[in-house]
Amino acid sequence: MSNLVPSTTKWDARYLGPVPHDASYYAKCMLGGVLACGVTHAGITPLDVAKCNMQVNPTKYKGLAPTLSLLAKEEGRTGLWKGFGPTFVGYSLQGMFKYGLYEFFKDTYMNAAGEEISAQYKPLIWLAGSASAEVFADIALCPLEMTKVKIQTSATGTFPTSFGAALTEMKKTKLETRYPFGSLVPLWSRQIPYTMAKFFFFEKIVQVFYTHIFPEPKETYSKPTQLGVTFASGYLAGVVCAIVSHPADSVVSLLGKKENKGKGVGQIASEVGWKSLATKGLGTRVIMIGTLTGFQWWIYDSFKSSMGLGTTGGK
């Protein structure tokens, strides 16, 4: 596949960028996704610990700053980094499939639709490509996400906090925790809409930038300018993502709570209430996901640019 030769008679989406989208291209995009998601998610572990505890125990943990202060007081500063290991590994794997397969599925669906339909229905291509990629990304993420949530939301001393010991305990208690894929459906419910919004709004905002603010051909602008557009578009897309996916994110956190053992998603949602699911911890998550998504896209496009693959999106 690396020696693909563009056809002179048939339009091919794999040749629309600065370099052919061959096996090497997709592999590099996968590596870029590892860097983008693994590093950023692990780096904001304290925010994630606070957010999960605010969702699971809102009467005790109220507001970002008070929650961080209380957690530090109860468990020390190391307690704020609980779940760092499974977060880093899990989201590295998720990013690998999310970004790499998005590029693959986007090209595949564009070629299946043809040039005219692809141009006319480009947003649908973005949505279909991102949704397809996220299905596989979440299968890779789920066991590690379940472990991370259990570490972060268990009362002090009731569950191991080291990565290896936590994985061992999850395997021992798999009938109780439904490890490794017990949270896959709610994870899909959270991540697929999130990723569809993330990629759709990112691509759309980038398109707006290069249509109305930087109207010349994208390649005529400097790399810092292009990466600035990438970060701004990613941040704005992340804010939308946080709002869209927050109720399902709350459910994923609540599934790790001991009191909810054996309960289904519908029962938890009914008991907690949709308003609470949609609002508790939302402010923290908007800050977290906006910053996270902005830096993810910036890291991803910086890596792509350094590999000569060009930045993502445009007219």
Distance CA 57, CA 66 (A): 13
Task: Tokens 């599934």: give the residue.
Answer: 255
Q: Decide if 179 contacts 101 (C-beta within 8 A).
A: no
Task: Tokens 């970002």: give the residue.
Answer: 64
Q: Is the pLDDT of residue 197 over 70?
A: yes
Contacts of 125 (CB under 8 A, 6+ apart): 106, 109, 110, 113, 118
**For residue 260, what are its two tokens?**
């909810």
- As a whole number, the mean pLDDT across the chain is 90
Q: Which domains does the chain have, with CATH numbers?
A: 18-307 (1.50.40.10)
Distance CA 280, CA 261 (A): 21
> What is the gyration radius of the CA atoms in the chain, in angstroms?
20
Per-residue model confidence as pLDDT tens digits over 114-150: 999 999 999 999 999 999 999 999 999 999 999 999 9
Instruction: Give the lowest-confidence range in 31-35, 141-145, 275-279, 307-311.
Output: 275-279
Cβ-based burial of 179 (10 A; exposed 0-12, middle 13-18, buried ≥19): buried
Strand ranges for the chain from DSSP E: none
Per-residue model confidence as pLDDT tens digits over 12-69: 999 998 999 999 999 999 999 999 999 999 999 998 899 888 888 888 998 889 999 9
pTM of the model: 0.83
Q: Decide if 125 contacts 110 (C-beta within 8 A).
A: yes
pLDDT the model gives residue 4: 53
Per-residue pLDDT band at 3 (split at 50, 70, 90): very low
**For residue 141, what are its two tokens?**
């993420």
pLDDT the model gives residue 285: 83
